[in-house]
Amino acid sequence: MSASPRASAPDEAALDPDAMRQPLADAWYCVARSEALKPGALRAVELNGEQIVLGRDASGAPFALRDRCPHRGMALSKGRFDGAALTCPFHGWRFGTDGRCRDVPTLSASDAADFSKIAVQRFPIRESAGFAWVNPFLGPASGSDVPALPELGFEAAGRVVIELVVEASYDLTTLSLVDPGHVAFVHDSWWFRPSKELREKVKTFTPTPHGFTMTSHATTTSSPVYRLLGGAPAVEIEFRLPGVRLERIVAGAKRVANYTFATPLTHDRTLLTNALYWNMPALNLLKPVARPLMRQFLTQDQQVLQHAQAGLDRKPTMVLFGQGDLPSQWYFRLKREALAAARAGRPFVNPLVTQELRWRS
Ligand code: FES
Ligand SMILES: [Fe+2]
């Protein structure tokens, strides 16, 4: 984690390949849509190399356990769940949603073996903005603060969610959330960006608790998506550790939120979740139109990221160059500070300052 970019000089910006591949350990990651956790059902997910089983108990509370029976390693997600306990399909051991072993049915009444010490690893789980979030960190509490969960901030009338797995590292994928330079080249669909001409952009970036935000007042009327809102929307784009991009569009009482979350599955596979929310019921009619467009948009990122990852696999260095790449450098600075704060057991101190950036896109 030592060599992250310090300044904008290209030779200083070459990144340490190890730092490139490690997601932040102590952070909340989006693991599933809330409605995918049905009471009584189990769902297997991957998170940062860990196999996790998710569920929702009879009272509606979600839980996350390591998807591995301590007895012989069986996936508990393949077993049964009655709303209170999971039953391993191999020898029937039962575990509560707190991970504690409740019963070993094959034990004879005369067997003195005590199963009360046996437990499956449990992970903290929360729900926010219509998603379930898990923190996979197993180390001791460091005393440093972890980034807040994204919240929606309004009552959604509708939502479209697209989930796509990218065969690329967590960092490379997360950089695409803060990279203005790729938009004109990767996302050149008629409905998003009708004109191919590069234009000068000037935007002010301000530090937020675990990231930074970019605010603009509706100069980007070129996009039909923005035009749909009518009037002059105010757009705010926030990036927050570990890999959360929150775009909020406000036009009078109308609200649209376009949230993107990066989740590390393994060291070379990353889940991108894109959720579009709105508070105007009339927009629900556009769901069948929005879904394929959002999928196309996310697929454009997926394809280019996978090709770039293949290049980084051959030589794992990047050159972060010019003001358009500063947000990418900030990502690594934020991450480095999060690691340093956790190591020292002190609060996170955002190393960024308010800055105006200029680039063409
Ligand atoms: S492997 Fe789970 S009970 Fe034996
Ligand atoms: Fe993109």
What are the pLDDT digits (tens) for 255-270?
999 999 999 999 999 9
Per-residue tokens: 90: 């191999």
Cα separation of 131 and 244, whole Å?
Answer: 13
What is the whole-number distance in angstroms between the Cα of residue 118 and the centre of ligand 2? 45
Model pLDDT, residue 340? 86
Looking at residue 73, the DSSP 8-state letter turns out to be -
Cα separation of 67 and 135, whole Å?
Answer: 15
Closest residue (by CA) to atom 3 of ligand 1?
Answer: 91
239 touches ligand 1 (CB under 6 Å):
no
What is the whole-number distance in angstroms between the Cα of residue 78 and the centre of ligand 1? 11
Q: Is 245 helix (H, G, I), strand (E, B) or coil?
A: strand
90 touches ligand 1 (CB under 6 Å):
yes
91 touches ligand 1 (CB under 6 Å):
yes
Question: Which residues are close to ligand 2, an ion, with C-beta < 5 A?
Answer: 176, 301
Closest residue (by CA) to atom 4 of ligand 1?
Answer: 91
* For ligand 1, mutation pick of 66, 77, 78, 90 (most atoms within 8 Å of CB): 90
78 touches ligand 1 (CB under 6 Å):
no
What is the whole-number distance in angstroms between the Cα of residue 177 and the centre of ligand 2? 6
Q: Taking the alpha carbons of 220, 221, 224, 227 in that order, is the dihedral positive or negative?
A: positive
Query: What atom in ligand 1 is closest to the CA of residue 93?
Result: 3
346 touches ligand 1 (CB under 6 Å):
no
Q: Which residue has the higher pLDDT, 14 or 180?
A: 180
For the chain, what is the mean pLDDT?
Answer: 89
74 touches ligand 1 (CB under 6 Å):
yes
Q: Which of 40, 341, 327, 10 is nearest to 182 (CA)?
A: 327
pLDDT band at 217 (very low <50, low <70, confident <90, very high): low
The fraction of the chain above a pLDDT of 70, given in percent, is: 88
To which residue do tokens 């989006």 refer?
30
71 touches ligand 1 (CB under 6 Å):
yes
Domain with CATH 2.102.10.10 in the chain: 34-134
> In this model, does residue 354 exceed pLDDT 90?
yes
> CB count, 10 Å around CB of 297?
19
> In this model, does residue 7 exceed pLDDT 50?
no
Model pLDDT, residue 236? 94
Q: Are 218 and 233 in contact (CB under 8 A)?
A: yes
Model pLDDT, residue 220? 53
Per-residue tokens: 194: 């009708």
Model pLDDT, residue 15? 41
Cα separation of 310 and 172, whole Å?
Answer: 11
> Does the bond joining 242 to the residue before it have cis omega, within 30 degrees of 0?
yes
To which residue do tokens 């009327």 refer?
221
69 touches ligand 1 (CB under 6 Å):
yes
Ligand nearest to the CA of 101: 1
pLDDT band at 140 (very low <50, low <70, confident <90, very high): confident
**Do the bridges between strand 85-87 and strand 29-33 make them parallel or antiparallel, or are there none, so unpaired?**
unpaired
Cα separation of 135 and 155, whole Å?
Answer: 26
Query: What atom in ligand 1 is closest to the CA of residue 91?
Result: 3
Report the amino acid identity of residue 265: L
Ligand nearest to the CA of 75: 1
What are the pLDDT digits (tens) for 272-309? 999 999 999 999 999 999 999 999 999 999 999 999 99
What residues are paired with 360 via a beta bridge?
200
Q: Report, as an integer, the average pLDDT of 211-221.
A: 75
pLDDT band at 143 (very low <50, low <70, confident <90, very high): confident
Domain with CATH 3.90.380.10 in the chain: 158-360
Decide which of 1.10.3720.10, 3.50.50.60, 2.102.10.10, 1.10.600.10 is the CATH code for 34-134.
2.102.10.10
Looking at residue 10, the DSSP 8-state letter turns out to be G
Query: What atom in ligand 1 is closest to the CA of residue 72?
Result: 1
Judged on CB neighbours under 10 Å (0-12, 13-18, 19+), 101 is buried
Q: Is 282 helix (H, G, I), strand (E, B) or coil?
A: helix
H or E segment to which residue 51 belongs: strand 50-56
- CATH of region 158-360: 3.90.380.10
Query: What atom in ligand 1 is closest to the CA of residue 76?
Result: 2
183 touches ligand 1 (CB under 6 Å):
no
